[in-house]
Amino acid sequence: MIAPPSSLPALRLKPKADARRLRHGAPWVWADELVLDRRSRGIPAGALAILEDADRRPVGVGVATVEAKIAFRMLDRDATAVIDADWLRARIAAALDLRQKVFDAPYYRLIHAEGDALPGLIVDRFGETLVIQPNAIWLEERLDMLSEILADLTGCTALIKNGSGRARAAEGLAEETVVLRGAAPEGPMPVPMNGAIYMADVMAGQKTGLFYDQRFNHGVAAGLAREARVLDVFSHVGGFALACLAGGATGAMAVDASEPALDLALAGARAMGRAADLTTRRGDAFAVMEALEQEGESFDLVIADPPAFAPSKPALEKGLRAYERVARLAAPLVAPGGVLILCSCSHAADLGKFRAACLRGIGRAGRVPRLIHTGFAGPDHPQHPDLTETGYLKVLAFRLLP
């Protein structure tokens, strides 16, 4: 039973803290914005609390983690809201309604944390299977309730908890992957998108088993791939390569450091009847790109979708240099008049900084670019306007002049 708001402890903002931004929708409060005395420091991590401004007027109700850098996460700006099963059901139902309006098949990110007003919660849907990442204590404590609501609203028969990642470690939560309901899938699951078939390993794959955020950018690449020879660098399970084959590419090469990921890419190509048209090359992406240039290789379409080189502000400068290097090594592999697509999933590198790094790299390679597309994550990854972390993905497509 969840205690009513009147019985919840209170956290108070310092006089210099900007309560207006929180009333206008900002989701987080930093530890240095709060009055932290013996009473407030005694609030257990993950407990519900009322946030008050410096004059003790309520701002909202949320989750306290006072010893962390982010000391409070807003759940509801109505301080009288009761955070119970009905509240959770309403938030999840709203998220589901959006996805059902946008997608004609049950393959999508169902819940995108703060983007769906559910801080710390990631849920990806693979047909009748849900993979849940409860990346905060308040969710872990309500996992049974959460599972029941998700199963009831979606009708999914298998629910898997993926308890991995830095976010859980920061909350002091154990790393584990367990089946909450139903049975684990027997091997990788086929996922149809953009005319391609991807193989998602939801039990042992990276993250939840597949990245849905690039779906619309895969579609853009597929539209550019007719009769093209394609290179997909940092390919994971063949995200861009398989979409391009579905779009009419004559052939594609997938490059990744992970042999299991490349095996899944090949399995997807087989499921599409295009196994003969996909080649794989395992190794460090930078070294492989250098080797391909030395071998005189050339491609009509080159895509580089690396991991987050700048996951935080302290890593920004080093990360931007890495993105510049990717662009410098990838550009020479693009045939005259071909297209280079460069991606960043680093929230610390905003669009302007990322674009500047890409242009430096392309320029250092001696190529002349024209920007033809700027992409972001799809609508199943809604962005919180006050939280750059939810708008992390940037995609730039350049035509390199002959």
Report yes or no: 163 and 134 within 8 Å, Cβ to Cβ: yes
Report yes or no: 235 and 211 within 8 Å, Cβ to Cβ: no
DSSP conformation class of 140: H
Report yes or no: 261 and 298 within 8 Å, Cβ to Cβ: no
Catalytic residue among 244, 343, 345, 358: 345
Instruction: In whole angstroms, give the CA distance from residue 212 to residue 209.
Output: 10
- End-to-end alpha-carbon separation of the chain, Å? 67
What residue has token string 């391009």? 244
Tokens describing residue 77: 């700006």
Give the dihedral sign, CA 11/15/21/26.
Answer: negative
Helix (H) or strand (E) holding 69: none
For 88, phi and psi rounded to 5 degrees? -60, -45
Instruction: In whole angstroms, give the CA distance from residue 83 to residue 80.
Output: 9
DSSP alpha helix (H) spans, 211-315:
215-223, 239-246, 259-271, 285-294
What residue has token string 């979708």? 305
Instruction: In whole angstroms, give the CA distance from residue 180 to residue 161.
Output: 6
Tokens describing residue 28: 């987080």
Active site residue 156: no
Neighbours of 251 (CB within 10 A): 17
Measured torsion, CA atoms of residues 230, 234, 237, 240, in degrees rounded to the nearest 10: -40
* CA–centroid distance for 328 within its chain: 26
Tokens describing residue 108: 């999508």
Which amino acids are annotated catalytic? 345
